[in-house]
Structure 1
Amino acid sequence: MPTVNPRFSVLSEDFAADPYRHFARLREQAPVHYEPAIDSYFLSRYQDVQRTLTDHETFTTETLQVRAEPVMRGPVLAQMTGAEHTAKRKIVVRGFTGQALRDQIRAIRANAADLIAPFLPRGRVDLVTDFGRPLAVRVTLDVLGLDREDWQQVAVWHRGVAEFITSITLTHERRRHCLDCAEQLEAYLTPVIEQRRRRPGEDLISKLCTADFDGVAMSDRDVTALIINVLAAATEPADKTLALLFKHLIDHPEQMAQIREDPALLTAAIAETLRYTPPVQLVPRQAERDTVIAGSTVPAGATVFCMIGAANRDPDAFAAPDTFDIRRPDLATARSFTAAAQHLAFGTGLHQCVGAAFARTEIETVAAMLLPLLDGIRYASGFRYEETGLYTRGPDSLRVDFTPARGTPALARH
């Protein structure tokens, strides 16, 4: 069993303020770090994290029955295995490919143009609160076929669901709030599901309502869980990654200049952002048997947290891992949004994030729109950058100033 270091905790305020400065010490001195307060193990080396995420017999997703199912209102894709997982994942993935994806790109552009337009004359916008968060929810509602006008209420419910899943500890009051959000979201979805069963359209909810598994239609509970699953998977990475991308490009103006000169580099910049500052920092698994990792025994039944941020900065996996470099040769950009990605921001293997390819399309489409509009982008005067979050992590705000190029309001509408 790993030795407990009483002077260090991943649950501390010091770690929360900047986990990245602790990762090297964890990988070198405590690659299997034990937190007695929550009886859980934290893995920080790339090789160990990759093994844990791909060895589905030794490390299962059983922990999600407690960490996710209560607010998802049923089993999520990551809990499924075998034929059920393959069939249901395929239904969801079809909602993000082909003609559906082409329609979504148009919706992404329309949403982005609508949200950014009021800020173009002002030369100032918060890319998180004014733009990124509302954009991610509105785009996901379009994919699902839900009313875009409901985005603010759905965003409140989504935040409650996300808090439940991503909190390491919850007070009784916060737990009750999160469950209330999930119950209200389920109540909102129930009549929608009933309507789509009677009159299906081309949206993803209709596809879920009309699909079957082994010749049996999915229950309302199954459909509800998958809808909330998609809402979380398509929303969480997108808003954080977009803000983090612009943060890194502002911090590295020479790399931003390269992208402005060669827009084809944008995909590599997104992939490097995902490696350098992954929006999902922890992925939980449960050990099914006593297992030795990096010389330490993790007992059967234990919760294991894969530290994605630490693994993505492991020098055994990436050269100069603490350097942001859109031209790095060891990232394999072409594979960075698939299950074969070198970085682990979307997980890997069987349970790689179902929204990975869509997240790429959304972030790439929006960033390509914004870069020409936000000329001379820089931090707003007096702005102090901060990141928050242990399980998922990103900026709470990204206030920027810019000089709109002449004629950009008209461009933003197209």
Structure 2
Amino acid sequence: MPQVNPRFSVLSDDFAADPYRHFARLREQDAIHYESVIDSYFVSRHRDVKRVLTDHETFTTETLQERAEPVMRGPVLAQMTGAEHTAKRKIVVRAFTGRALRDQMGVVHANAAELVAPFLSRGRIDLVDDFGRPLAVNVTLDILGLDKRDRHQLAAWHSGVAEFITAIALTPERRRHCLDCADRLEGYLAPIIEERRRHPGEDLISTLCAAAFDGIAMTDREVTALIINVMVAAVEPADKTLALLFKHLIDHPEQLAQVRKDPALLPAAIAETLRYTPPVQLVPRRAERDVVLAGSTVPAGATVFCMIGAANRDPAAFAAPDAFDIHRPDLGTARSFTAAAQHLAFGTGLHQCVGAAFARAEIETVAGLLLSLFDEVRHTPGARYRETGLYTRGPAALRVDFTPARSAPAPP
């Protein structure tokens, strides 16, 4: 068992304020960090995180049975193995690739243009509250074929579901709240699933309702679990990645100028943002047997948290890892959104994020639109920047000022 350092905790307010300043010490001195309060291990080196995420026999996703299934209303893709995982993953992947992906980018662009329009004459916007969060929700609802007039209620229920999954520890009161959100969301979806089975459309829920596994249509519960799985995966990281991308480009004006001059660099900027500040910071696994990691024994049954942010800043994997550099040669833009990615923002192995291609296309579409509409984008004077979150992490707000481009349309 690793040495327990009573003076340091990843659960502390100090760590939450800025995890990045602790990552080097963790990798060098406490590579398998143990938190006795939650009886869990935190793995920070790139090679160890990659091992945990790819050794599926030793490190399984069984922990999600407690962390996700109660609010997902069934097993999520990451819990599945074998033929079931292959079949259901393929169903979801097909919904986010090829022609479907091209159609979805039209939806993304339309939603983004509508949301940003009222702010163009003001020259000021919060890329989190005013834009990123509502955009992520609206796009997801459009893809699922859900009524955007219900977006505020659906966003509230989604928030409770996401809290259950991402909280390291929940009070009994918060746990009840999260489960109640899941109950209400399931109740909302039930008649919609029934209707889409009778009258399918072009939306993702219709696709899931019509899909079959082993020649048998999926049950309502299985469809519900996949819908909620898609909602959480599509909404939770998107607003964070967009805001973080703009934050880093504004902080590095020479790189922002290069992206403006050559839009082909935008995918590299997105990939570097995902490496430098991944929105998903922790990925849990369960050790199925006693295993030695970085010289320490992790016992069978233990929860192991992969620290994606720390792994992505590991100098053994990336040169000058604490520098934001869209030109870094050790990242590889082309492979950064595939299973061959060097960074671990999408996970890796069997359970790598199915939405990587969609994430790239969505952020590239939205960022490209905003850069065409915003000239001289900069931080709003006096605005305080703060990031929040341990499991998922992103800006609490990102207030920026800009000069509207001459070609920007007038607000409606």
Larger mean CA deviation between 286-295 and 135-144 belongs to 135-144
Give 1:21 deviation, angstroms.
0.2
- Aligned equivalents of 2:119 and 2:409: distance in 1? 9
Deviation per CA, 1:127-180: give whole Å up to 9, x if none.
000000000011011111111222221111111111100000111111111111
Task: Give the equivalent residue in structure 1 for 2:73.
Answer: 73
Task: Give the equivalent residue in structure 1 for 2:368.
Answer: 368
Task: Give the equivalent residue in structure 2 for 1:310.
Answer: 310
- Aligned equivalents of 2:381 and 2:321: distance in 1? 30
Task: Give the equivalent residue in structure 2 for 1:396.
Answer: 396
Deviation per CA, 1:272-331: give whole Å up to 9, x if none.
000000000000000000000000000000000000000000000000000000000000
Give 1:8 deviation, angstroms.
0.3
Give 1:256 deviation, angstroms.
0.0
Output aligned runs, 1:13-412, within 5 Å. 13-410=13-410
What 5-or-longer segments of structure 1 have no aligned partner?
none
- Aligned equivalents of 2:305 and 2:18: distance in 1? 18
After the TM superposition, which parts of structure 1 deviate over 4 Å for at least 4 consecutive aligned residues?
A: none
Deviation per CA, 1:392-412: give whole Å up to 9, x if none.
0000100111110224125x8
- Aligned equivalents of 2:233 and 2:39: distance in 1? 27
Asked if the contact 2:96/2:358 (under 8 Å) is kept, the reply is yes
- Aligned equivalents of 2:283 and 2:185: distance in 1? 24
Look up the SS of the partner of 1:377 in the other structure: strand
Instruction: Letter of the 1:30 partner, please give it.
Output: D
Deviation per CA, 1:70-113: give whole Å up to 9, x if none.
11011000000000000000001111112211111111010000
What's the RMSD between the two structures over aligned residues? 0.9
Asked if the contact 1:95/1:143 (under 8 Å) is kept, the reply is no
Asked if the contact 1:233/1:354 (under 8 Å) is kept, the reply is no
Look up the SS of the partner of 1:313 in the other structure: coil
User: How many pairs align?
Assistant: 412
Deviation per CA, 1:327-355: give whole Å up to 9, x if none.
00000110111111110001001101111
Deviation per CA, 1:11-67: give whole Å up to 9, x if none.
000000000000000000000000000000000000000000000000000000000
Look up the SS of the partner of 1:409 in the other structure: coil
- Aligned equivalents of 1:111 and 1:10: distance in 2? 38
- Aligned equivalents of 2:93 and 2:152: distance in 1? 26
What 5-or-longer segments of structure 2 have no aligned partner?
none
**Would the alpha carbon gap of residues 182 and 353 (structure 1) be closer, same or farther in structure 2, given more than 3 Å must change?**
same
- Aligned equivalents of 1:256 and 1:149: distance in 2? 36
TM-score using structure 1 length: 0.98
- Aligned equivalents of 2:79 and 2:137: distance in 1? 24
Asked if the contact 2:373/2:407 (under 8 Å) is kept, the reply is no
Asked if the contact 2:286/2:304 (under 8 Å) is kept, the reply is yes
- Aligned equivalents of 1:365 and 1:251: distance in 2? 21
Asked if the contact 1:336/1:342 (under 8 Å) is kept, the reply is yes
Give 1:372 deviation, angstroms.
1.7
Asked if the contact 1:95/1:203 (under 8 Å) is kept, the reply is no
- Aligned equivalents of 1:372 and 1:99: distance in 2? 25
Aligned-residue sequence identity (percent) comes to: 80
- Aligned equivalents of 1:134 and 1:407: distance in 2? 25
- Aligned equivalents of 2:253 and 2:182: distance in 1? 42
Give 1:235 deviation, angstroms.
1.2
